[in-house]
Amino acid sequence: MSQDTDVRAADPVLGRLAEAILIPPFPGTAAPGWVLDALGRGLAGVTLYGQNIAAPGQVSALTAALREATAGDGPVIAIDEEGGDVTRVAFAEGSPYPGNAALGMVDDTALTRAVHQAIGADLAALGINFDMAPCADVLGAADSPAIGTRSFGADTGLVSRHTAAAVAGLQDAGVAACTKHFPGHGRTDTDTHEAIATIEGGLADLRLVDLPPFEAAIRAGTLAIMPSHLRVPELTGDLPATVSGAALTGLLRGERGFTGVIVSDALEMRATRDLFGIPRAAVLAVAAGTDLLCLGRDGSEDDYLAVREALVAAVRDGALDGERLEEAADRVARLRGGLARAWSAAPAAAGTGAAGTGAAGPGAAGTGAAGPGAAGTGAAGTGAGATRWSSRSSRGRTSPPGGSAGGSARGCRPAACTGSALRAGRRTAPGPTSARSWPPRPGARWWQWSATPTGTSRPGRW
């Protein structure tokens, strides 16, 4: 028998519980048979990366196939889509949306919300329902090599209000926000892809500087939070927060009152892989309070099977409390149920936006909330029948030609952006950054427009 069959035959209940908290990756632009089979058994979902993206129609067909294969509520279909330097959907040419550094410099929370609502509307149109964003990290003197322009800035208050706006924008579009990197990756001088990172200062500094943006995200209703492989000696000892019960169960849930889904950062990252190995890191993360396990871009079917087997064995051996695994699976099931309801409600929703009136894509929010409308960024829209929701990898980033801090050639450079100009539907900077109006014309998606040196618009490469 295969390893897959061995685990399921030995303890089918534990095997299903283990699968119910995993979102593995896979190579290629079509889902392999093992992923479809696992979804049919109750696999929580998948994580998409640039390797899975070729064109909008292909992505839509892929997500439809994933949904069709899934037993019960639809799957979690997760992606890293932050805008600016970190994009998966537009990895080949760079995101058309300004990144957090640019948004923080402009300091217009209405703009931040609109940008993230537009990102969410694009994802929802492709069938993606879970965004591992926004970054809530406050930059410090160390100028974290893993974060940089992914942060809204170095001021805690500014980062807090823009984090809340980004969460609201994504979830207005019917896409779950996963705020990261708890308890704060901005004041580190180490990239957790390479080694465990230690946050500068002590616990008092953490509470004063790093935690308020996460508290703001919780108040804004973020459905998920992602801890990272970060060490706070006074809190976690020698362990990263990913596997620290003091950080997750004690600080995040107990002290900060978060009741949503805790999602691990990629377990293939060296900060955890070198210390524990991926399967043991998965067990320790769940024991500490993690609900949903992200394996990372390069995880294989064998990695997925090894993690599932390790979770089953840990419960059998007493290393992992079975009730903790059940609790994690229940939280993920509730998340999936909510996402499925939002998805099923979306096609019937009508949206009215500032840029015009049209049929809203997934995520037109309840009456009075911002609805994407036809433009994906309409203000004060109405969504009839819709449901309101109350990257980490440098290898996946793209810095397009002509891009700058937090932006891209088709994004918004800090010096070129003002809230009034953007709300008026234009940018005033010369050259490529002024080539495309903001927001896009009604009905447009990011792949339908690209910049030209002459300042004219033309259909994008897709």
- Sign of the CA dihedral with 327 first, then 241, 269, and 263 last: positive
DSSP per position, 421-435: HHHTT----SGGGGS
| DSSP structural state of residue 123 | H
Contact 372, 361 (CB under 8 A): yes
- Give the span between the Cα atoms of 209 and 139, in whole angstroms: 9
β-sheet bridge partners, residue 165:
none
Residue holding tokens 């990197």? 181
406: left (phi over 0), alpha (psi -120 to 50) or beta: left
β-sheet bridge partners, residue 294:
23
Q: Where are the beta strands (DSSP E) in 354-407?
A: 356-359
For 89, the token pair is 């959907």
For 423, the token pair is 């709300």
Name the residues annotated as catalytic: 193, 265
Helix (H) or strand (E) holding 315: helix 301-317
- 185: cis peptide before it, omega within 30°? no
Distances (CA, A) of 54 to 68, 92, 229, 410: 20, 9, 31, 19
Helix (H) or strand (E) holding 53: none
| DSSP structural state of residue 138 | B
Burial environment of residue 148 by CB neighbours within 10 A (0 to 12, 13 to 18, 19 or more)? buried
